[in-house]
């Protein structure tokens, strides 16, 4: 029985399959006229976001509401340090209000792990620094599974961009690999992990060479706010070498899927017309996000009764 | 104080060798070292080693400025419980020890405490790395160790000037916190397998190695002694070994956590394991042990760094670096180095007492246990085991990374100038 969802590492293959199966069921629920089940009635889910986020936060709140849980939002502008209250004090205050799950987004790696050691409520990692974003990985896996079938065995996935500084890459690469995909990180060495121990991936600096063999092109967002002259010379050069341009897309197989965790920089990591093109599953990813977050909350807080 | 105090039944170990002997002390001075002595009062040393008091080249006492974490009084008490009779107080106080008035205040508070507190002075004003601190004025107050610890003297030109200037101050040593700030920018743990897995920005080994390389060259250029604080990497130790073989005036220390813990501890995301320089790889830990065993590293120094509890209740990347060390250093040395046969007991004591005393020019400390010498002594049971309990530490802070760890080697008594400041493991004041 899962107590928290902190890292993809915590999940066995069977846990992953179970969560994704549940995600499929909830996806069906979200397509009903009244997309709501009473599974978590009487439970309270609080979102504790130390970092700005629109989509992840809305997605979690929607997921909780569709399970009939009560929701609270605790938003922190600036850091906890600036406010003078320690993270521990903050979460203990929230727990004292009587909550069943805390969804934590924090700019520091491991913050949700620390929270989990301090309180009894279930903790869900909604993104911690550069470390992990496990529900993003689950929604990506669900999206891919819906196109490829249950196993991803042998699917060739390239994750292009700043994997070194990306919590999405850390989680999604592990989830895809655990489901049987072959994952390659693509980018200049300044954007690739310093060490590959513990990463079930290959790496390359040569995107073009991979193009014809890929089943999935997963583009990471280039972080303008973090973009730093020491990582690559310019956005223009990045796009030239690693952007999914129309020319590069023409060299992909016809059924290659294009994924992106959003928000996109159109014209930088992905050409504008490809984002809505036939291979793109980017809006499906968003829809699947609500379903897998329902699955996670249900697994953590549910009674185990059938979904509905 | 009684007329005479007898430390009875121990095994005396010092730089001259070891022998079974009682130690008789009068007026703070050793007057006789031989079997079968008598005194007015007696401290039992049966089964124990009696040695020159331990000397810590690297202690953060936090006063002035951060008395919520430690004071000179509480830090000195922790030192005494750890068997230390002298500590070099690092100058990153607030205000910094870059001014004679601050140093004088630290020394005055130290004189009232249970340990001989020697103040280190800053190399540069405010540890900013731009203007020389008044090294001569600080030297006149007795300062011999100059450092901007916590900050690296980044500019090679600044370091060169500091070394040239210190060359005119007898006994002065310039101690470098060797971590290139630009290479470490934004980093919170050792860069490598674990930082990559955990997504915690790294501080690469090359940040230490490159500064050590540069400063060995500057020691050669200027002839002024350079001491490398808390060396932690295989590469830095290899360079120091080479520099010593070439006869350069360099010395080095290593901290117990750098021969005990690796960066894998950071997988807990517990900021108790956050320290600068960071916990390194297993290969680096092995290299530190070799460096301690072959003499490349001169001293074990604690880098005792107290922090108030709430500061370690932040996420890893937001918590301050540093861990307690004074009360666990002897136990870790015996457990991690002596028991497995990395160094002998007498070499361990050399690393904890007389060699650091020589680096800092503390002539009263580390000396042989012999008539006429000040009675700065530690009496410890090298076989006794104990379990680290943060609540039982004398330090005001609780940030030890070793809660629940069982260590071999426990301090029984500590004598500062003949005063038993610790008896049977308990601080007396």
Per CATH, domain A134-285 is 3.40.50.720? no
What is the DSSP track for A155-217? -EEEEES--TT-HHHHHHHHHHHHTT-EEEEES-GGGS-S--TT---EEES-HHHHGGG-SEE
Q: Are B250 and B240 in contact (CB under 8 A)?
A: yes
Of A81, A87, A131, the CB nearest to B199: A131
Position A53 scores a pLDDT of: 86
The larger pLDDT score, comparing residue B160 to residue A226, is at B160
Task: For residue B25, say if its preceding peptide bond is cis, omega within 30 degrees of 0.
Answer: no
Q: Is the pLDDT of residue A83 over 80?
A: no
Of all helices (H) and strands (E), which one includes residue A239?
helix A235-242
Q: Are B45 and B10 in contact (CB under 8 A)?
A: yes
Backbone phi and psi for residue B56, each to the nearest 5 degrees, phi listed first: -105, 120
Q: Is the pLDDT of residue B418 over 80?
A: yes
Say if the Cβ atoms of B316 and A108 lie within 8 Å.
yes
Averaged pLDDT for residues B225-237 = 98
Position B427 scores a pLDDT of: 97
User: Across the strands, what pairs with B55?
Assistant: B86
Q: Are B141 and B107 in contact (CB under 8 A)?
A: yes
Reduced to 3 states (helix: H, G, I; strand: E, B; else coil), residue B122 is: coil
Say which range, A146-150, A208-212, A257-261, B352-356, has the weakest mean pLDDT. A146-150
Residues 6+ apart with CB under 8 A from B139: B121, B169, B172
What is the DSSP track for B128-175? -SSSB--HHHHHHTT--EEE-TTS----HHHHHHHHHHHTTSTT-EEE
Question: pLDDT tens digits, residue range A266-294?
Answer: 999 999 999 999 999 999 999 999 999 99
Nearest-CA distance A179 → chain B (Å): 19
For A79-85, which contacts have Cβ atoms below 8 Å and span 24 or more sequence positions? A79/A50, A79/A107, A79/B318, A80/A50, A80/B314, A80/B318, A81/B314, A81/B318
Which residues of A are less than 8 Å from B272 in CB distance? none
Question: pLDDT tens digits, residue range B338-381?
Answer: 999 999 999 999 999 999 999 999 999 999 999 999 999 999 99
Which among A178, A246, A260, A249 has a CA at the least distance from the CA of A212? A249
Task: For residue A220, say if its preceding peptide bond is cis, omega within 30 degrees of 0.
Answer: no
Q: Are A65 and A47 in contact (CB under 8 A)?
A: no
Q: Is the pLDDT of residue A305 over 80?
A: no
Position A224 scores a pLDDT of: 67
Say which range, A69-83, B108-122, B232-246, B312-326, has the weakest mean pLDDT. A69-83
Instruction: For residue B61, give both structure tokens.
Output: 């006492």
Which residues of B are less than 8 Å from A113 in CB distance? 268-269
**In this structure, which CATH number among 3.40.50.300, 3.40.50.2020, 3.20.20.140, 3.40.50.10490 belongs to the domain B53-360?**
3.20.20.140
Active site residue B148: no
Averaged pLDDT for residues B135-163 = 98
Residues 6+ apart with CB under 8 A from B17: B346
Domain residue limits, chain A: 8-132+289-301, 134-285
Nearest-CA distance B197 → chain A (Å): 6
Helices within B271-344 (DSSP H only):
282-293, 329-333
Rounded Cα distance, A113 and A117, in Å? 7
Mean pLDDT over each residue of chain B, to the nearest integer: 97
Say if the Cβ atoms of A108 and B317 lie within 8 Å.
yes
Position A152 scores a pLDDT of: 86
Residues 6+ apart with CB under 8 A from A189: A205
Name the pairing type of β-strands A202-204 and B4-14. unpaired
Averaged pLDDT for residues A86-92 = 89
Position A79 scores a pLDDT of: 47
Averaged pLDDT for residues A49-54 = 88
Rounded Cα distance, B79 and B416, in Å? 11
Nearest-CA distance B191 → chain A (Å): 7
pLDDT-based confidence at residue A85 (cuts at 50, 70, 90): confident
pLDDT-based confidence at residue A82 (cuts at 50, 70, 90): low
Which among B195, B214, B213 has a CA at the least distance from the CA of B204? B195
How far is CA A269 from its chain centroid? 18
Same fold, A8-132+289-301 and A134-285: yes
Q: Is the pLDDT of residue B206 over 60?
A: yes
**In this structure, which CATH number among 3.20.20.70, 3.40.350.10, 3.10.450.40, 3.40.50.1370 belongs to the domain A8-132+289-301?**
3.40.50.1370
Mean pLDDT over each residue of chain A, to the nearest integer: 92
pLDDT-based confidence at residue A239 (cuts at 50, 70, 90): very high
Question: pLDDT tens digits, residue range B376-398?
Answer: 999 999 999 999 999 999 999 99
Instruction: For residue A2, give both structure tokens.
Output: 């899962």
Say if the Cβ atoms of A129 and B310 lie within 8 Å.
no
Task: Enter the CATH code of domain B4-50+372-427.
Answer: 2.30.40.10
Question: pLDDT tens digits, residue range B115-145?
Answer: 999 999 999 999 999 999 999 999 999 999 9
Q: Are B303 and B329 in contact (CB under 8 A)?
A: no
Say if the Cβ atoms of B315 and A81 lie within 8 Å.
no
Position A81 scores a pLDDT of: 45
Q: Are B53 and B415 in contact (CB under 8 A)?
A: yes
Say if the Cβ atoms of A195 and B193 lie within 8 Å.
yes
Size of interface A-B (CB pairs under 8 A): 81
Averaged pLDDT for residues A132-138 = 98
Averaged pLDDT for residues A192-211 = 96
Averaged pLDDT for residues B193-209 = 98
Q: Is the pLDDT of residue B3 over 80?
A: yes
Q: Is the pLDDT of residue B421 over 90?
A: yes
Domain residue limits, chain B: 4-50+372-427, 53-360
Say which range, A49-63, B241-255, B318-332, has the weakest mean pLDDT. A49-63
pLDDT-based confidence at residue B251 (cuts at 50, 70, 90): very high
Rounded Cα distance, B33 and B6, in Å? 10
Q: Are A102 and A119 in contact (CB under 8 A)?
A: yes
Position B205 scores a pLDDT of: 98
């Amino acid at each position: 029985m899962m107590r928290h969802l902190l890292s993809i590492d915590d999940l066995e293959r069977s846990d992953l399959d179970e969560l994704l199966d549940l995600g499929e069921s909830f996806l069906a629920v979200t397509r009903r006229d009244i997309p709501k089940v009473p599974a978590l009635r009487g439970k309270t889910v609080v979102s504790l976001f130390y970092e700005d986020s629109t989509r992840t936060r809305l997605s979690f709140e929607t997921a909780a509401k569709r399970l009939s849980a009560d929701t609270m939002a605790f938003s922190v502008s600036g850091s906890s340090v600036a406010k003078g209250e320690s993270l521990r004090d903050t979460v203990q205050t929230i727990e004292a209000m009587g909550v069943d799950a805390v969804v934590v987004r924090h700019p520091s790696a491991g913050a949700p792990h620390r929270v989990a050691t301090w309180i009894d409520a279930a903790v869900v990692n909604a993104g911690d620094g550069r470390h992990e974003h496990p529900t993003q990985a689950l929604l990506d896996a669900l999206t891919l599974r819906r196109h490829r079938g249950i196993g991803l065995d042998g699917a060739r996935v390239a994750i292009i961009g700043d994997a070194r500084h990306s919590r999405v890459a850390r989680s999604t690469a592990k989830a895809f690999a655990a489901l049987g995909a072959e994952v390659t990180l693509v980018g200049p060495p300044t954007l690739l992990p310093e060490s590959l121990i513990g990463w079930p991936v290959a790496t390359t600096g040569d995107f073009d060479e991979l193009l014809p063999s890929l089943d999935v092109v997963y583009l990471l967002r280039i972080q303008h706010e973090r973009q730093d002259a020491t990582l690559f010379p310019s956005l223009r050069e990045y796009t030239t070498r690693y952007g999914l341009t129309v020319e590069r897309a023409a060299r992909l197989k016809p059924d290659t899927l294009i994924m992106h965790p959003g928000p996109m920089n159109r014209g930088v990591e992905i050409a504008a017309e490809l984002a809505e093109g036939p291979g793109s599953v980017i809006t499906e990813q968003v829809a699947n996000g609500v379903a897998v977050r329902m699955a996670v909350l249900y697994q953590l807080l549910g009674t185990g009764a059938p979904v509905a | 104080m009684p007329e005479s105090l007898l430390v009875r039944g121990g095994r005396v170990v010092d730089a001259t060798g070891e022998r079974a002997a009682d130690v008789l002390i009068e007026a703070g001075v050793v007057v006789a070292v031989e079997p079968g002595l008598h005194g007015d009062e007696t401290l039992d040393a049966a089964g124990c080693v009696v040695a020159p008091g331990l000397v810590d080249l690297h202690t953060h006492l936090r006063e002035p400025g951060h008395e919520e974490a430690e004071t000179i009084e509480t830090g000195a008490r922790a030192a005494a419980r750890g068997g230390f009779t002298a500590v070099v107080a690092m100058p990153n106080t607030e205000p910094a020890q870059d001014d004679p008035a601050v140093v004088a205040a630290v020394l005055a508070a130290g004189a009232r405490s249970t340990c001989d507190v020697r103040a280190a002075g800053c190399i540069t004003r405010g540890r900013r790395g731009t203007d020389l601190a008044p090294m001569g004025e600080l030297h006149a107050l007795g300062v011999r160790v100059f450092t901007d610890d916590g900050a690296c003297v980044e500019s090679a030109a600044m370091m060169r000037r500091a070394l040239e200037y210190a060359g005119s101050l007898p006994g002065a040593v310039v101690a470098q916190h060797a971590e290139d700030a630009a290479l470490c920018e934004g980093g919170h743990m050792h860069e490598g397998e674990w930082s990559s897995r955990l997504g915690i920005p790294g501080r690469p080994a090359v940040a230490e190695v490159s500064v050590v390389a540069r400063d060995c060259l500057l020691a050669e250029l200027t002839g002024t002694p350079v001491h490398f604080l808390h060396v932690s990497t295989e590469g830095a130790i290899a360079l120091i070994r080479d520099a010593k073989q070439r006869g350069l005036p360099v010395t080095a220390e290593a901290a117990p956590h750098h021969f005990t813990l690796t960066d894998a501890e950071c997988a807990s995301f517990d900021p108790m394991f956050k320290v600068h320089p960071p916990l390194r790889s297993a290969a680096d830990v092995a290299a530190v042990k070799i460096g301690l065993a072959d003499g490349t590293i001169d001293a074990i120094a604690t880098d005792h760094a107290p922090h108030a509890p709430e500061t370690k209740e932040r996420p890893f990347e937001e918590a301050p670096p540093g861990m307690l060390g004074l009360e666990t250093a002897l136990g870790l040395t015996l457990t991690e180095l002596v028991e497995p046969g990395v160094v002998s007991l007498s070499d361990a004591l050399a690393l904890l007492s007389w060699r650091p005393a020589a680096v800092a020019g503390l002539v009263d400390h580390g000396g042989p246990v012999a008539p006429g010498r000040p009675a700065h002594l530690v009496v410890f049971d090298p076989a006794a085991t104990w379990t680290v309990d943060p609540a039982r530490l004398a330090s005001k802070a609780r940030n030890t990374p070793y809660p629940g760890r069982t260590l071999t080697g426990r301090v029984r008594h500590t004598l500062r100038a003949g005063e038993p400041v610790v008896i049977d493991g308990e601080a007396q004041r």
